């Protein structure tokens, strides 16, 4: 008697995860839909109840089991508290990377495996081929950048059913399956929480304090309401933020030069806390790197040293400490680290 392989699908209430569940059921898996409940701020109107209802409706339409998994404590500690702590220190965190590491492929993955799952699946636009993490086929939706902290040993137990598709195809499939999420808009903003104005969110935890904005020459050109609220590369007073002094509560801005580069751009970047999900970079070999989501891929070389990992770019880059830098070998995402 053949026993079906069990897949627990993380259902967000969106179209991508809904179609993922439908495709897996159609392929013959025993599918269970799981809505992950996370911490939400009480000072914002959140639509998580509507998302949960949509996830339940999808499960009812597909005739699969529905579960709700409460990871509020884990989300508050590993995503929200980390994010606030990084901004206070003057760095730029990436909450979506933390969410994938500690929630989707942390708490959810662990719970699923403990409850008999052979696989977990999500609606990410990424692919896993021959136990290597790769970019999604839809370059406009590719989400592999956010997944570099997945553990290598988890890859054989993770499925990304829509990773090889384009977004319009996914929406058409949702209509074919008769799913309520077919025309639902994509979620934006903080992972799971939705569209949140980051500055407004942080103002509940970080006190606003006026400070000086200076140009590259050191001249005062304006005022800001707190250095912690600004990140490298952000537009401010007609220029771009290129530096911050947290002790003095000062922000430095610069205009782009004739080559379109910012004054403090650099060709060498050091990363820490690395994770090589698909394999270590090779010495002397050229790779592609991304320093923020949707940033163009840049040619680089990787130097592995005992105390640090150095990324050398062909062209100067403006990077934000605290952000993720990921390394690609073609379409394969080798891994990445945190910019120092």
Asked about 274 being catalytic, the answer comes back as no
Asked about 46 being catalytic, the answer comes back as no
Q: What strand order describes the sheet that includes 119-121? A: 65-70, 30-37, 6-10, 119-121, 158-159
Q: What strand order describes the sheet that includes 250-254? A: 220-224, 211-214, 250-254, 239-245, 235-236
Q: Which residue among 46, 59, 99, 274 is the active-site one?
A: 99
Helix H or strand E encompassing 139: none
Q: Which residue among 46, 59, 191, 274 is the active-site one?
A: 191
**Strands, E, within 83-204: which ranges?**
119-121, 126-129, 132-135, 158-159
Residues belonging to the active site = 99, 191
């Amino acid at each position: 008697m053949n026993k079906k392989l069990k897949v627990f699908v993380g259902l967000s209430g969106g179209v991508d995860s809904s179609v993922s569940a439908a495709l897996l059921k159609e392929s013959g898996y025993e599918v269970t839909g799981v809505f992950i409940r996370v911490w939400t701020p009480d000072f914002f109107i959140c639509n998580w109840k509507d998302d949960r209802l949509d996830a339940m409706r999808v499960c009812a339409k597909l005739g699969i089991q529905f579960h709700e998994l409460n990871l509020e404590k884990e989300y508050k500690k590993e995503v929200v508290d980390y994010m606030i702590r990084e901004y206070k220190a003057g760095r730029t965190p990436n909450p979506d990377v933390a969410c994938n590491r500690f929630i989707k492929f942390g708490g959810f993955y662990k719970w699923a495996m403990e409850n008999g799952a052979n696989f977990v699946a999500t609606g990410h636009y990424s692919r896993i081929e021959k136990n290597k993490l790769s970019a999604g086929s839809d370059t406009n939706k590719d989400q592999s950048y956010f997944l570099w902290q997945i553990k290598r040993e988890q890859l054989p137990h993770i499925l990304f059913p829509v990773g090889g598709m384009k977004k319009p195809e996914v929406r058409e499939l949702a209509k074919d399956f008769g799913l309520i999420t077919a025309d639902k808009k994509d979620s934006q903003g903080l992972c799971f929480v939705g569209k949140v104005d980051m500055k407004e969110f942080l103002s509940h935890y970080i006190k606003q304090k006026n400070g000086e904005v200076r140009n590259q020459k050191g001249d005062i050109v304006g005022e800001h309401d707190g250095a912690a609220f600004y990140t490298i590369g952000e537009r401010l007073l007609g220029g771009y933020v290129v530096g911050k002094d947290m002790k003095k509560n000062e922000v430095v801005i610069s205009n782009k030069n004739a080559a379109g580069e910012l004054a403090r751009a650099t060709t060498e970047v050091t990363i820490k806390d690395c994770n090589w999900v698909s394999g270590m970079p090779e010495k002397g070999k050229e790779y592609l790197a991304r320093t923020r989501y949707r940033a163009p891929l840049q040619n680089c070389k990787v130097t592995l040293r005992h105390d640090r990992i150095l990324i050398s770019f062909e062209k100067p880059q403006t990077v934000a400490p605290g952000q993720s830098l990921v390394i690609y070998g073609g379409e394969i995402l080798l891994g990445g680290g945190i910019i120092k």
